[in-house]
Amino acid sequence: MGFWHTGYAEFHEPSGLEEYVYSPPPPVRYVCEHCSESFAELEGLRRHRFEQHPVRQPALWLRGRAAGALPQLLITPLQPADVVIEDAVRCLLNGNPVPLASLGERLAGMNKEFIELQLENAGATTRCVLDFRIADETHLAGVEAAFLRVARDRVLSIDALSRFIHDCREFPSAMPYCDGICHYLYGVMAKERAPDSGLQQGQYVERYLRASDELSGFDRPLARSVRALVAFHFNHFDDAELLAPEGALRHAAGAFAGLLQGLPWHFDAAFSAAPGSAVENLLTDQDTLQILSDASHGLVELKNRSDELLSHLQRAAAGGFDQMKRTLLTSEALAAREDAASHATARKLARELASHHDTSAWAKAMLERLSTP
């Protein structure tokens, strides 16, 4: 090291360095940590990672609903089969490792707990928060009994809802169940413009969505029926068919789902028409009852009722969710007729829905059918 400071170089020729020629270092290469392929630019590495090694986020599904960082309230017990884990190799429960294979059993045994889960894989982490407040079975049954007492009167009013809420206060652990049912019934009243609801007609949408969300944690027939009606109203026919009990709603949802896949109206004969029990009548708004009644008919009867269906369509609220169902039914009925005027109207209706993502397959199939002699 004294070479630089002692003046040695002033009196001696350097030896051993005369063959050294400086060359710049090789250009930086960005190496993929997954496969060792390298790239001259960082952007190339990023593009390679995205295309060749996409990172999938771990996911936790509870009864078909994705859990997330916001607390998910659980009122009814989970079954191990209700718990589905995707794209995770490791799980932490409140910071402690838990085998993925046993997580379903662990969660199914929880009653009054607030937990944090962390699901991990090689490139991503998902955090979920679950709030277990499992309701007493007798409280859940008490809420349903209170609802049945209201349903027997076959009148939906503010007074009826007040009695229902009052009766449910005896069952505090099941009050979220009561709340979800009330949101839906308030929504029905708003949709039907009940003067004592205190709500604007358009506010039914928020009430329906809140009801479906709050009742999603209850694996009970009443909760599933409400969620099925909400799904049917918003034209989520696959969900409605899955949730609805055997009957008019389930069959109608399946028929509309078939139309959206490009299939023609396929009922040869009518299935059982609109629901008739006190519970179903109280849950189902008048517009939906009429649609279920119309949809109960096979194609021959549908064709014979095409003028009536066209009248129902003209009265439907423009841009409303029921307008789509009315358009589908009316077009199918008109297309089944033999006269050119009916076919022209059916084409017009199909073209109106051709640009919509949900109805494009149906519109294309309808227009192809009408173009075939």
Q: Is residue 351 part of a domain?
A: yes
Q: Report which DSSP code applies to 361.
A: H
On whether the CB atoms of residues 207 and 187 are closer than 8 A, the answer is yes
Mean pLDDT of 192-214: 92
Tell me the average pLDDT of the chain: 87
Do both 148 and 241 map to the same domain? yes
Residues 6+ apart with CB under 8 A from 353: 324, 327, 359, 360, 362, 363
Q: With respect to residue 205, please indicate whether it lies within any of the assigned structural domains.
A: yes
**Residues 218 and 365 reside in one and the same domain:** yes
Which of 102, 133, 164 delimits the end of a domain? 133
Do 118 and 168 share a domain, yes or no?
Answer: no
Domain end residue (candidates: 112, 133, 154):
133
Instruction: Measure CA 146 to chain center.
Output: 29
Overall domain count for the chain? 3
pLDDT > 50? residue 49: yes
Cα-based distances in Å from 27 to 40, 49, 102, 243, 354: 8, 21, 50, 61, 55
Residue 91 to residue 113: CA distance in whole angstroms: 18
Same domain for 175 and 254, yes or no, is yes
Same domain for 212 and 344, yes or no, is yes
Whether 10 maps to a domain, the answer reads no
78 and 196 inside one domain: no
pLDDT score for 316: 85
Domain that holds residue 193: 139-371
Q: Is the pLDDT higher at 263 or at 11?
A: 263
From 88-92, 106-110, 188-192, 275-279, the region with the lowest mean pLDDT = 275-279
pLDDT in tens, 145-161: 999 999 888 889 999 99
Q: What is the pLDDT of residue 46?
A: 81
- Same domain for 36 and 162? no
Q: Is residue 12 part of a domain?
A: no
DSSP 65-81: EE--SSPEEE-SPPPGG
CB atoms < 10 A from the CB of 76, how many? 18
With 90 as the cut, is the pLDDT of residue 45 above it? Answer: no
- Domain end: 54, 75, 101, which one? 54
Answer yes or no: are the C-beta atoms of 347 and 367 closer than 8 Å.
yes
Measured in whole angstroms, how far is the alpha carbon of residue 257 from the centre of its chain?
A: 15
15 in a domain, yes or no?
A: no
User: Are 164 and 310 found together in one domain?
Assistant: yes
For residues 348 and 362, state if they share a domain.
Answer: yes
Instruction: Select the more confidently predicted residue: 63 or 24.
Output: 63
Query: Who has greater pLDDT, 217 or 95?
Result: 95
Predicted confidence (pLDDT) per residue in 267-288, tens digit: 665 555 544 556 777 788 889 9
Quick one: tokens of 322?
A: 């029921």
Q: Is the same domain home to 41 and 179? A: no
Q: Does residue 26 lie within any of the structural domains?
A: yes
Same domain? 119 vs 147: no
Cα gap 107→67, rounded to integer Å: 13
Note whether 29 and 157 are same-domain residues.
no
What is the structure's pLDDT at 268? Answer: 62
Q: How far is CA 291 from CA 203, 205, 232, 267, in A?
A: 21, 18, 11, 15
